[in-house]
Structure 1
Amino acid sequence: MNENFSFIILTYNEQIHLPRLLESIKDLQAPIFILDSGSTDDTLKIATQYGATVKINSFINHPKQWDFALRNFEISTPWIIGLDADQKVTPALFKLLIDFKPEDYSHVNGIYFNRKNFFQGKWIRFGGYFPFYQLKMFRKGVGISDLNENMDHRFITSGKTIIWKNGYLLEENLKENDINFWIDKHEHYSDLIATEEVERMNNTRSQSLKPSLLGNPDEQRAWLKRLWWKLPLGFRPYLYFAYRMIFKLGILDGSTGIRFHYLQGFWFRRLVDQKIKKLRSRSGQ
């Protein structure tokens, strides 16, 4: 058994994704912990077949689910890797992990992985979606789930972090081949974000990270988010879509990619702004 790191994976009806992920990591022989939120398909059966330790917890949002997982699984390895069920480890990343020795990383507390995101079979290469670094590996007891966001989940850690640029996670939610699934999911996400932004406007919610354009990838995104919150509601989705399509070359992603950028970078953002305005109107703001 791998004594260097363990995997934690969140699931909910992931029978279409989970075998793909577990196959990509099984030869690392690391402990696998799966937190499920009430699957009704074969997700738990698949998890058991791969020897995973499973717990079940009702889902509120991703940050809280990750927080529950980190606090409730009995993990004995010094490092933890948190993965989504619709991701898989590429051979290049596998090589970095199988060669990982904790003593070589005594100076860092976290490692960012690079991600390739796919939508309906298309790699979204432009529009700011690649490279995209996520803190996925961190020391046990040091990395935590950022509870100051309702939807955009991230792990955060104190101390130094590094980036593995050449080992990729591949992320593709095959359920999103059904566009109605994507729309329904983002209708729910828009509620979470709208509520969160109104709370920020009322100064009842703050950022956990120090925003910095010169910081790590999450601190850079925190800086951009702070700027985003200052932009006029209703106008900013147009600005953001133009930024992704022109400045970040999203137009080069082809018809499927452009559809993704429109849905995620414009339609979704405009829906959030509409819901923010409704929430503020109801409260007399």
Structure 2
Amino acid sequence: MSNSLTVIILSYNEEKHITRCIQNLKRVSDNIIIIDSMSTDRTVEIATALGATVVQRPWPGNHSDQFNWALDNCNITTTWTMRMDCDEYLLDELIDEINTKLPLAKPETGGFIIKRRVIFMDKWMKRGGFYPHRLLRIWRTGTGKLEERAMDEHVVLEKGETEAFQHDMVDHNLNDLTWWTHKQNNYASREVKDLLDIEKGTTSANNVDVSLSGEQSSRKRWIKEKVYSKIPLFVRPFIYFIYRYFIRLGFLDGGAGLVWHFLQGFWYRFLVDAKMYELKRNNRLR
């Protein structure tokens, strides 16, 4: 276990996940900070009992504000900082890799990219172009910030090169489908704002490098801004679902895969377009 790593986690009513999360992360760090948005369940009680440092701060409206506040105000003195979510955990192989490689990192290494796999209805969503999802999750303290945007916020590294760990972290939410669809509905409203910012040309200035030749987040952002956002409303969800479910073989993920790729790859994006259509229609009627 490395004592040179601080893990920051944002939480709100996460008693279903917090024990698994903290116990898993204690295998790589003794410095776990929970920024809790005034939970009303046992999240704070459980996290405190497990030895995490808990700081409560009302939800400011977006992840970037809350996370960057933690970076600026939690007096992080370790060499490295890590971002995790309550419903995520590290595989055993990744834990060993972090504990082995982090103390031996080259001076020019500014951060580490980790592959994330999604477990949905207890099944790994391996296909549909959804895996591996490569994310910058560990960086030298003081050199990274969460970019300020409504959706798809990534850690932006101010300096240094990146390396990639070989093994995976896991996103495995234990809540039911009712909870999941409610969360996606909230995400859809944020996605509308993000797409409107793209239309106005006010997003890229705050982005990671947007290009096809960059890291995965950069390539995905380029496709979203230069291709997806240009396709007409209500047409693009169909195209995206066909791409994921048939061309990228999402149908091989079975019954859970059908639910995942349809809801996350079509329904969610159709809902985004419907909200955008409603917003623009109301603006025209005023």
Same fold (TM over 0.5): yes
The runs of at least 4 aligned residues of structure 1 exceeding 6 Å deviation read none
What is the rounded CA distance, in whole Å, between the counterparts of 1:282 and 1:255 in structure 2? Answer: 38
CA–CA distance in structure 1, aligned partners of residues 194 and 105 of structure 2: 40
Which digits, 9 at most, give the CA deviation of each residue in 1:230-282, with x for residues without a partner?
Answer: 11111000000000012211010001111110000100101101111121222
Distance 1:94 1:196 in 2: 34
Q: CA deviation at 1:217?
A: 1.7
Q: Which moved more, 1:91-100 or 1:153-162?
A: 153-162
Cα deviation per residue 1:134-168 (whole Å; 9 max; x = unaligned)?
11001111111011x2132211113321211x321
Which residue of the partner structure matches residue 47 of structure 1?
47
Aligned-partner Cα distance in 2 for 1:224–1:3: 39
Q: Secondary structure of 2:19's match?
A: helix
Matched, 1:107 2:108: yes
Letter of the aligned partner of 1:86 in structure 2? D
Checking the alignment, whether the CA contact within 8 Å between 2:22 and 2:52 is kept in structure 1 is no
Q: Distance in 1 between matches of 2:197 and 2:29?
A: 43
**1:24-35 counterparts in 2 under 5 A?**
24-35=24-35
Question: What corresponds to 2:132 in structure 1?
Answer: 131
Higher deviation after alignment, 104-113 or 117-126: 104-113
Q: How many Å separate the matches in 1 of 2:272 and 2:228?
A: 13
Counterpart position of 2:189: 191
Q: Deviations over 1:47-85 (max 9, x none)?
A: 111221111222212222222221221100111011000
Aligned to 2:162: 161
1:128 counterpart SS class? coil
Greater shift, 194-203 or 74-83, is seen at: 194-203
Residues 1:270 and 1:101: Cα distance change in structure 2 (over 3 Å)? closer
Is 1:216 the counterpart of 2:222 in the alignment?
Answer: no
Task: Give the letter aligned to residue 17 of structure 2.
Answer: H
Q: Could you tell me how far 1:100 is from its partner in structure 2?
A: 3.2
* 2:18 and 2:46 in contact (8 A); partners too: yes
For 1:221, give the aligned amino acid.
K
1:181 paired with 2:179, answer: yes
User: For residue 71 of structure 1, what is the aligned residue in structure 2?
Assistant: 72
Rate the CA distance shift 1:18–1:107 in 2: closer, same or farther, 3 A: same
Name 2:122's counterpart in structure 1.
Answer: 121
How far apart, CA to CA, are the structure 2 residues paired with 1:205 and 1:268? 21
What residue number does 1:18 align with?
Answer: 18
TM-score by length of 1: 0.93
Gaps of 5+ in 1: none
CA drift at 1:104: 2.5
- Which residue of 1 is the match for residue 273 of structure 2? 273
Structure 2 counterpart SS, 1:100: helix
AA in 2 matched with 1:20: R
Calculate percent identity across the aligned residue pairs.
Answer: 33
8 Å CA contact retained: 1:63, 1:151: no
Instruction: Kindly provide the amino acid, as one letter, of the partner of residue 260 in structure 2.
Output: F
- In structure 2, give the amino acid aligned to 1:192: R
Q: How many residues align?
A: 281
- Structure-2 separation of matches of 1:29 and 1:82: 12
| Equivalent residue, structure 1, for 2:203 | 205
Quote the Cα distance in structure 2 between the aligned partners of 1:256 and 1:228: 26
Q: Give ranges in structure 2 of 5+ residues lacking alignment.
A: none
Q: CA deviation at 1:2?
A: 4.0
2:242 paired residue number? 242
- TM-score, normalised by the number of residues in structure 2: 0.93
Residue 102 of structure 1: how far off its partner (Å): 4.2
Deviation at 1:10, TM superposition (A): 1.1
The code of the aligned residue for 1:106 comes to: P
Residue 17 of structure 1 aligns to which amino acid in structure 2?
A: H
Shift of 1:19: 0.8
Aligned to 1:167, what secondary structure does the other structure show?
A: strand
SS of residue paired to 1:97: helix
Kindly indicate whether the alpha-carbon contact (under 8 Å) linking 1:146 and 1:208 is maintained by their aligned counterparts in 2: yes
